[in-house]
Amino acid sequence: MTSLFDPVKLGDLELSNRIVMAPMTRSRAGDGDVPTDLNVEYYRQRATAGLIVSEGTQPSANGKGYCRTPGIHTPAQIAGWRKVTDAVHAGGGKIVLQIMHCGRIGVNHNKDADAETVAPSAVRAAGQMFTDTAGMQDFDVPRALETAEIPALIAEFGQATGNAMEAGFDGVELHAASGYLPMQFLSTGTNKRTDAYGGSAKNRVRAVVEMLDAMAKAAGAGRVGIRICPGVSFNDIQDDDPAETYATLLKAIGPMGLAYVHLILLKTPQVDGLAVVKANYSGNLILNDSVTLERGNAMVDTGEAAAVSFARHFLANPDLVRRFREGAELARFDRKTLYTPGAAGYTDYPFINE
């Protein structure tokens, strides 16, 4: 019988257990979007995870959406992350960087003065975002990228991956879920392009495949993963036929030999994400969303998943692996401090026997 406590190899990533810390934006980066000693401590505390997927991290100034999110595009950011990866490795853990380009999900108040909000098409997302300087603000109307600009956009993902490897990460994960830039290319509601990057499903998956290619060239395919959630409507994203879109994407990336696909489980009347993945992808799967210890063990025992990721439990329980192992009670997370600066609700969740 295989359990979450057994080791597993995902591509070139060797995990000591199958309990993955899911990516979580915590909005606590320092000036210049540089990871700080507080961030080092947060990840150090959670190093017993088989794998940590970092918070979403912008590959470029344009890719920043939310306030106080870290980047991986300046020397200071790379140096800041190096302290994080050293701490996780010293604790026996592994960590990959989640590359998150927010695309149209952004407002200029949160960005550097010379950065802009860009997307596949000039379609504004309904809704608002919090800013430190001006409170809640409507999302920007994004500028549609010219065809001639796409190679530079793709190159951002390769460069960010190279920077992540320089910072000591074990690999990288492309955030292609939750309505951010890669998903904006995939989805018909946000991709109105008439060039080779829009229209048919084959064209809409092209940018994401090229991003993964650029990332694989920089890190090796066995150190690259992708996160998806077919059919999700978060951030006002909409696709006419997610089953077709993701079947096309998964068939295209199958031969690349990526480390894993990280699937946020969602079943809607429109699409059953797990069914689409199973039918079109035979590589390693990390499954996520509200999974219990019992369900997670069953998922790896049946081979449905290679590993399972936990977000909110890891947020509130830095020693989640030990608590699972000992059947200990789990602490609950505090919603009020999810995105607030400082140590409160970040590095002060206790370990058991503390």
Ligand X SMILES: Cc1cc2nc3c(=O)[nH]c(=O)nc-3n(C[C@H](O)[C@H](O)[C@H](O)COP(=O)(O)O)c2cc1C
Residues of this chain that bind ligand X (CB under 6 A): 22-25, 55-56, 98, 100, 175, 177-178, 227, 264, 288-290, 310-313, 338
Task: For residue 180, indicate whether it is catalytic.
Answer: yes
- 17 φ, ψ (degrees, to nearest 5): -150, 175
* Cα 57 to Cα 77: distance, rounded to the nearest angstrom: 10
Q: Which is nearer to ligand X, 39 or 288 (CB)?
A: 288
Q: CB atoms < 10 A from the CB of 292, how many? A: 12
Q: CB atoms < 10 A from the CB of 101, how many? A: 29
Smallest gap, in angstroms, from Cβ of residue 55 to ligand X? 5
Asked if 284 contacts 254 with a C-beta cutoff of 8 angstroms, the reply is no
Q: Which is nearer to ligand X, 73 or 313 (CB)?
A: 313
Smallest gap, in angstroms, from Cβ of residue 174 to ligand X? 10
Going through the chain in order, the beta strands assigned E by DSSP cover: 8-10, 13-15, 19-21, 51-57, 95-99, 118-119, 128-131, 135-138, 143-144, 171-175, 224-228, 260-264, 285-288, 307-310
Q: How many helices (H) and strands (E) does the chain have?
A: 11, 14
* Cα 354 to Cα 350: distance, rounded to the nearest angstrom: 6
Smallest gap, in angstroms, from Cβ of residue 151 to ligand X? 26
Residue with tokens 């084959």: 202
Q: Which is nearer to ligand X, 247 or 291 (CB)?
A: 291
Question: How many residues in the chain?
Answer: 354
Q: Give the active site residue among 43, 66, 180, 346.
A: 180
Cα 351 from chain centroid (whole Å)? 26
Active-site annotation, residues = 180
